[in-house]
């Protein structure tokens, strides 16, 4: 038996071929595509204008990827929602919905777990389980838009996983998400965050997408960076930063630098000075994130005064910096901690 095709991960042209193979007319491909990517139905049976026999054929020949909502938490403070989704193989992933003045944003996961090993991050503690398919990444946005009932205008690939370690699925996801026949989310409103995989940053620049690249910097010198991020052993700043600069030059998209402030490790004024020296001419924006402590490690958050002082030190040197507002404080479980808690306690605890 041939493997079932993941139709939700197919671009329209491939779907047309698939539909032709089943002996159906091309307009059926368009209908099918709309049901999946515009009407966001959770099952093939819900595609009511397709003939029953065709729906049955699809179910036999194709896999219809759809996520199951295992748990949903909603903040009473700012409307942030955190979702724990179940995959067909019973793995779980988490995604977040955030409401901003500029629109609704979803934070998606790109892998189950992660193999990058950043020391402060909960997603990587148990290593990588597997990559997500483009359809599983899309479904996070689709299920959330359907649940909230409002248009999602921004997507950040900042959930669990390293998106550039799952390159092909990521690019497919971006193309489908921004496609005219689908949700048509502007590529300018999609941000891909990476720990700094140099060859893949270069590859992404070649894809000619107009997504924003966010680099997780977290330190302004290699020595400190290596303490926090093992990937810094492989790619020093002298390689990562030129790759980012090249991304900016090829795409014209301004860069974002993420910098999680860890008390006593990377939060001194001296670090801010070094950071300004490093990225001063790169037209980037620095996103400061007071680190979310995880119980498995001893890292502490810099206090509010230190965070402000760090920001001021950057601003004085002409670097645009903002402190990331903490969303959904009352529902906790930031950055992969919801899934981790779920795995430790088991489903019944929820």
- Contact set with ligand SAH (CB under 6 A): 116, 118, 120-121, 158, 162, 193-195, 216, 258, 260, 289, 291-292, 294, 335
For residue 16, the minimal CB distance to ligand SAH (Å) is 34
d(CA 110, CA 116): 13
> CA 27 → CA 7, 22, 34, 36, distances in Å?
16, 13, 11, 14
For residue 74, the minimal CB distance to ligand SAH (Å) is 22
For ligand SAH, which is the closer residue by CB, 145 or 166?
A: 166
The three-class DSSP label of residue 138 is helix
For ligand SAH, which is the closer residue by CB, 12 or 227?
A: 227
Q: Catalytic pick from 16, 24, 94, 107?
A: 94
The total of other beta-carbon atoms located within 10 Å of residue 178's CB is 20
d(CA 81, CA 150): 13
Residues with Cβ within 8 Å of residue 253, at least 6 apart in sequence: 188, 210, 211, 212, 213, 247
For ligand SAH, which is the closer residue by CB, 71 or 297?
A: 297
d(CA 90, CA 85): 9
For ligand SAH, which is the closer residue by CB, 66 or 193?
A: 193
Q: Catalytic pick from 16, 118, 121, 335?
A: 335
CA R_g for the chain: 21
179 catalytically annotated:
no
For residue 111, the minimal CB distance to ligand SAH (Å) is 9
For residue 244, the minimal CB distance to ligand SAH (Å) is 12
For ligand SAH, which is the closer residue by CB, 67 or 262?
A: 262
Tokens representing residue 107 in the block: 């934070």
Stated as kind and residue range, the H or E segment containing 349 is none
For ligand SAH, which is the closer residue by CB, 182 or 328?
A: 328
Which of 146, 2, 126 has the alpha carbon at shortest distance from 63? 2
d(CA 132, CA 48): 29
Residues with Cβ within 8 Å of residue 189, at least 6 apart in sequence: 103, 153, 154, 155
94 catalytically annotated:
yes
d(CA 323, CA 319): 13
For residue 102, the minimal CB distance to ligand SAH (Å) is 19
For residue 161, the minimal CB distance to ligand SAH (Å) is 6
Please return the burial class of 238, using the count of CB atoms within 10 Å of its CB with bins 0-12, 13-18 and 19+. Answer: exposed
- Please give the positions annotated as active site: 94, 335
């Amino acid at each position: 038996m041939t493997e079932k095709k993941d139709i939700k991960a197919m671009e329209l042209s491939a779907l047309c071929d698939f539909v032709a193979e089943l002996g159906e007319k091309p307009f059926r491909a368009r209908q099918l595509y709309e049901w999946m990517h515009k009407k966001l139905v959770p099952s093939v049976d819900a595609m009511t204008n397709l003939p029953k026999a065709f729906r049955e054929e699809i179910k036999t020949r194709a896999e219809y990827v759809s996520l199951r909502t295992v748990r949903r938490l909603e903040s009473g403070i700012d409307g942030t929602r955190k979702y724990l989704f179940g995959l067909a193989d019973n793995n779980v992933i988490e995604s977040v919905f955030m409401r901003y003045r500029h629109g609704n944003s979803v934070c998606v996961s790109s892998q189950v777990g992660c193999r990058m090993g950043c020391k402060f991050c909960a997603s990587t503690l148990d290593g990588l389980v597997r990559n997500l398919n483009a359809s599983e990444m899309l479904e996070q946005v689709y299920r959330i838009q359907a649940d909230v009932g409002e248009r999602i205008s921004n997507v950040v690939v900042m959930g669990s996983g390293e998106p550039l370690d799952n390159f092909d699925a990521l690019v497919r996801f971006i193309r489908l998400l921004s496609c005219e026949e689908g949700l048509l989310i502007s590529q300018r409103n999609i941000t891909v965050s990476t720990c700094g995989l140099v060859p893949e940053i270069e590859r992404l620049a070649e894809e000619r997408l107009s997504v924003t690249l966010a680099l997780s910097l977290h330190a302004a010198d290699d020595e400190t960076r290596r303490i926090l991020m093992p990937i810094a052993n492989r790619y020093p700043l002298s390689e990562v930063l030129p790759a980012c600069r090249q991304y900016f030059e090829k795409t014209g998209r301004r860069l974002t630098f993420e910098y999680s402030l860890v008390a006593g490790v990377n939060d001194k004024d001296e670090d801010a000075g070094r950071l300004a020296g490093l990225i001063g001419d790169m037209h980037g924006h620095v996103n400061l994130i007071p680190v979310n402590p995880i119980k498995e490690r001893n890292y502490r958050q810099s206090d509010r005064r230190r965070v402000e002082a760090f920001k001021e030190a950057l601003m004085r040197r002409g670097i645009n910096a903002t402190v990331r507002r903490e969303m959904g404080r009352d529902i906790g479980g930031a950055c992969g901690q919801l899934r981790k808690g779920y795995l430790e306690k088991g489903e019944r605890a929820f």
